[in-house]
A and B are shown apart, each in its own frame.
Chain A
Amino acid sequence: MKTEDLINALAAEAAPAPAASVETRVGLALPLAVLVSVVLYFLFLGPRPDLAERIIDPVVAAKTLLPLGLAMLALVLALRSARPAVPLGLPARVVWLVPAIALGLFVWAFVTTAPDSRFMLWQGKSIPVCLPMIVILSLPLTAGMLAAMRRGASVRPGFSGALAGLAAAGLATTIYSTFCNEDSPLFYATWYSLGILLATLIGALAGSRLLRW
C-alpha cells in the first residue's frame, strides 16, 4: 500500500477522536479497584482497635499520610507518562520528598530509640504479614491503573507501569497502615518501603508488556 493511499484511507476515517481519555478511565477504574482492595482489607485485616487514639500521634499519622501523598504524586506522574511527550514536571521532583521524609523519620527514630530496643523495633513482629499484604492489596489497584492506561500511549511502557505500580502501592500501603500496629519508623520506613518497591517492580514488569502498543 502506498503511504499516500494510507493517508487518504485514514483521513476518510476522521471521525471525532474518541472522547474518553486516560484520565476519565482511571477515574472510573481506580475507585472500583480501591473498593476491591478495601474489601480484601476487611476480609483479611481490618483496622487496629486503637486506631482512633493512635492516629493523632504525628509519627503514627505519617505512616498513613506519607504513602497517601506518594500515591497522589505517582498517580499524576502515571497519567502524564501515559501521553507522548508530556513533561512530568514538578511532581517528579516533589515525589522524592516522600523517601526523604521516610529516611528522616528513620534516622530520628534510630537516634531517639534506646540502643538495645532498636533491633527489636526494626524487626517488629509482622514482616510476614506486612510485605505480602501490601503487595496483595496493590494488585487490584495496579490492574485497574494499567487497564485504564492502555487507552493512553506511553512511550516508556515499563516506566509508566512502574508509576502505576507506585501509585497502587501508595494506596495499598495507606490502607494497610490502618491495620498495622508497628508504630516505629524503624519498622515502617523500612518494610513499607520494601513492600512499595516490590509492588512498583510488579507494575514495571506488567507495564512493559501490557502498555506496549
Chain B
Amino acid sequence: MDRNDRWGDLLRRANRGEGAAYALFLTECAPVIRNVVRGRRGDSGADDIEDIVQEVLLAVHAKRHTWREADPVTPWLYAIARYKTADAGRKRRTGGTQVPLDDVAEVLPDEASGEIMAVRDLGVMLDRIDERSAGIVRAVGIAGESAGEVGARLGMSEGAVRVAYHRAMTRLKDLAEAKDETRE
C-alpha cells in the first residue's frame, strides 16, 4: 500500500477518535519529520532537533482538522514540518532565550527544551497563563510531582497532563521570548 494511502487511512481513523491508529500514524510520521528538521537545521544539536520534532508533532495534532480526507497526507505533513522548523529557527535566532545572568536567582531546568528560565520571571509569567496550566507547571516543573499524581488530583489522564505541561511550557517560552524582545 502506498504510504499516502496508508497514512490517509490512519489519520482518517484517528480523526474519528481511534487512538491506536493515531499513535501508529504519529509514530510512523516522526522519523519523516525528523528528517525534514535535520535537513533544514542540520547545525543544531540532537536535543534541539528532537524539540523541533515535538513542536511539529504538537502542530500536527493541533491542526489535524486542516487535512481534508481527499488530499494526500504527505504534502500536508511536509508543509507543516517545514513551517514549524522555519518558525523554530526564527524563534531561536531572535535570541529569545538569553536570560541575563544577574536575573538568574535560581534556575528551573525545562525538560522540554533543556533551556533555562529564571524562577522570578517564571512566577510573573505563570500569572499570565490560565490557572489550570499554571498549576500543572507548578506541580510538575517546580514541586516535581509526577504526571500521574497530578492527573489523579485533577481528574485528568496522565497523558493529558503531559500534553498540558508541554503546551504550557511552550507558551511560557514564547512569553519569555516576547518579554526579552521588549527589553532589548
Contacts and interface: CB of A to CB of B under 8 A. Distances in A.
Interface in A117-146: none
Nearest to B166: A1
A111 interface: no
B44 to A, nearest CB: 15
Contacts of A3: 30, 50, 53-54, 57
A16 B160 contact: no
A17 interface: yes
Given A82-B66, A83-B68, A84-B80, A9 B159 contact: yes
A16 B71 contact: no
A57 interface: no
A152 B76 CA distance: 13
B80 A12 contact: no
Shortest beta-carbon contacts, A-B, top 8: A12-B159, A11-B23, A84-B79, A85-B75, A9-B159, A14-B22, A153-B63, A85-B79
B57 A7 contact: yes
A14 B112 contact: no
Contact of B65 (A1, A6, A21, A212): A21
Interface in A1-50: 1, 3-19, 21-22
B16 interface: yes
B59 interface: yes
Contacts of A12: 19, 157, 159-160
The secondary structure that dominates the B interface is helix
A86 interface: yes
Contacts of B178: none
Interface of A: 1, 3-19, 21-22, 82-86, 152-153, 155, 212-213
A86 B82 CA distance: 15
B55 to A, nearest CB: 10
B87 interface: yes
Given A12-B159, A13-B159, A84 B54 contact: no
A11 B20 contact: yes
Residue in A4, A5, A9, A17 with the greatest tally of chain B CB atoms within 10 Å? A9
B88 to A, nearest CB: 12
Nearest to B13: A14
A53 B80 CA distance: 52
A17 B22 contact: no
B58 A6 contact: yes
Residue in A3, A6, A16 with the greatest tally of chain B CB atoms within 10 Å? A6
Interface residues on B, range: 35 or more
B17 A6 contact: no
Contacts of A19: 65
A81 B74 CA distance: 17
Interface in B20-34: 20-23, 26-27, 30
A36 to B, nearest CB: 27
Given A3-B50, A84-B76, A86-B71, A8 B159 contact: yes
Given A3-B30, A3-B57, A85-B76, A14 B66 contact: no
A83 B83 CA distance: 12
A77 to B, nearest CB: 16
B79 A10 contact: no
Contacts of B30: 3, 7
A24 to B, nearest CB: 11
A86 B79 CA distance: 10
A103 B184 CA distance: 47
Contact of B160 (A7, A13, A155): A13
A6 B57 contact: yes
A7 B53 CA distance: 11
A16 B69 CA distance: 14
Contacts of A6: 54, 57-58, 162-163, 166
